[in-house]
Amino acid sequence: MIEAAIVGGTGYTGVELIRLLSAHPNVNIKWLTSRSEAGKPVTSIFPSLRGFTDLVYSDLGDDTTDALSQCDVVFFATPHGVAMTQAPKLVAAGVKVIDLAADFRLQSLQAFESWYQHKHACPELLKQAVYGLPEINRDAIKKAAVIGNPGCYPTTAILGLKPLITAQNALGSALVERRIIIDAKSGVSGAGRQAKLDLNYAETTDNFKAYGLAGHRHLPEIEQGIQAILASQIAHRIRFVPHLVPMVRGMFTTIHLGLTDEGVEQDLHSLYVTAYQNEPFIDVMPKGEYPDTRSVRASNRLRIAVYQDNSRHEATVLVVQDNLVKGAAGQAVQCMNVMFGFEETLGLNHVPIVP
Ligand SMILES: NC(=O)c1ccc[n+]([C@@H]2O[C@H](COP(=O)([O-])OP(=O)(O)OC[C@H]3O[C@@H](n4cnc5c(N)ncnc54)[C@H](OP(=O)(O)O)[C@@H]3O)[C@@H](O)[C@H]2O)c1
């Protein structure tokens, strides 16, 4: 049994971590922090957890690092800029750190500081941090002290392209054109739980809008995933446009690809099936079947479909996930399982909720 802490236990990813970890057979949640709800039982804010936990929120204040050092692993479900202030002391104390924000995702210090407009507090630790995508970085995650848990959109984009980029590298030739268009849609919980005018019910219900066209912070993370982590030999140009859709949970990412003559000769669906056949959380759908967000709701599953039209030299990859589970808290727990040598699926094998 390991001891865990969750910093930021009142947000949407925080409560998702409580849901997953309170049912995990090898984890005890020792600390759950909130500055705004300190002293209140978690069940008074989230009655869904009644009967599963009697945790009370703590504001650890000046004692934060000392208290968190009593744990084996600390999850930061906080805005960017929080984990980096405490991670060096925690790592020095032998505590594993999993940050659900962006402090340890971008390997380039310069890219982090320019996209997030925030000076990094521990550039040395950033160099050691591992990007927490087990389907790509499993061996590195096993030995990592600090995990930068991936962003929700990058998880769909990088895993949606991985079999293709890997095949291109192996064949030494392009299967798809340089330009890749990633058209992605997220449910409103992707923006967190705090009140904001543009996230009001009346603003988001019966509405559908694009945002971040001039540059979303997940773009450099997607580019890093393809060029640095998957080591693409082709310098792909990514066009990424996120949208907000009127649903609570769920993410649907459509990847548009132009096929080269070599690409037309490949059966892309078979490439994906083979690449993911041993991945417990990735489901490649049969040819001719396409996913919907409901089919992964509240589960750590990421579902992919591949459509190929050789007459038009094009292909489309469709990827769905629950943004709060495989896109955040579930992925963090999957990383924790890998780091502590637990069965990777432990505490994560939920059947998605339908309807
Ligand atoms: N929502 C998603 O789908 C999603 C997916 C992937 C990654 N993420 C990332 O995960 C992180 C958390 O997202 P979220 O949606 O759960 O956010 P959220 O709903 O806004 O919750 C933020 C939490 O952080 C705490 N907090 C805020 N500032 C803090 C500080 N300075 N020190 C300590 N605690 C602080 C808040 O509690 P108190 O104010 O009470 O302390 C709250 O519990 C973000 O970095 C987000 O980008 C979110």
Check whether 215 has a pLDDT greater than 80: yes
Query: Ligand 1 centroid vs 279 CA: distance in angstroms?
Result: 29
Specify if 189 maps to a domain.
Answer: yes
Q: Which three-class secondary structure string do you get for 158-213? A: HHHHHHHHHHHHHHCCCCEEEEEEEEEEECHHHHCCCCCHHHCHHHHCCCCEECCC
Q: What is the tens place of the pLDDT at every residue in 247-300?
A: 999 999 999 999 999 999 999 999 999 999 999 999 999 999 999 999 999 999
Q: What is the pLDDT of residue 60?
A: 85
Verify whether ligand 1 is closer than 6 Å to residue 38 (CB atom). no
Classify residue 344: in a domain, yes or no: no
Q: Which atom of ligand 1 is nearest to the CA of 8?
A: 43
Structure confidence by residue, pLDDT tens digits, 138-185:
999 999 999 999 999 999 999 999 999 999 999 999 999 999 999 999
Looking from the CA of 163 toward its CB, the CA atoms found within 13 Å total: 22
Instruction: Looking at the structure, tell me whether residues 166 and 315 fall in a common domain.
Output: yes
Domain boundary among 128, 144, 164: 128
149 Cα nearest atom in ligand 1: 7
> Pocket of ligand 1, candidates 78, 296, 325: which has the most ligand atoms within 8 Å of its Cβ, to mutate?
78
Task: Tell how far the Cα of 245 is from the centroid of ligand 1, in angstroms.
Answer: 21
Residue 62 has pLDDT above 80, yes or no: no
Residue 146 lies in a domain: no
For residue 133, tell me if it sits in a domain.
Answer: no
Do residue 198 and residue 85 come from a single domain? no
Q: Tell me, what's the pLDDT at 71?
A: 97
Whether 331 is in the pocket of ligand 1, judged by its Cβ within 6 Å, is no
What pLDDT was estimated at residue 307?
98
Based on the domain organization, do 120 and 61 belong to the same domain? yes
Within the chain, what is the greatest distance between any pair of CA atoms? 64
Pick from 13, 56, 115 the residue to mutate for probing ligand 1's pocket: most ligand atoms within 8 Å of its CB: 13
Q: Chain-wide mean pLDDT for the chain? A: 97
Eight-state DSSP code of residue 112: H
Q: Would residue 223 count as lying in a domain?
A: yes
The answer to whether position 98 is within a domain reads yes
Pair (164, 279) in one structural domain: yes
Task: Give a yes or no: residue 272 inside a domain.
Answer: yes
Ligand 1 atom 14 nearest Cα: 192
CA of 337 to the centre of ligand 1 (A): 22
- Annotation marks residue 152 as catalytic: yes
Is the same domain home to 223 and 287? yes
Atom of ligand 1 nearest to the CA of 13: 16
Nearest to 27 by CA among 11, 6, 9: 6
Task: Answer yes or no: is 17 within a domain.
Answer: yes
Residues 164 and 306 in one domain: yes
| Whether residue 158 is found in the same domain as residue 303 | yes
Q: How confident is the model at residue 309, as a pLDDT? A: 98
- Structure confidence at residue 65 as a pLDDT band (50, 70, 90): confident
> Domain limits at 217?
153-323
58: CATH: 3.40.50.720
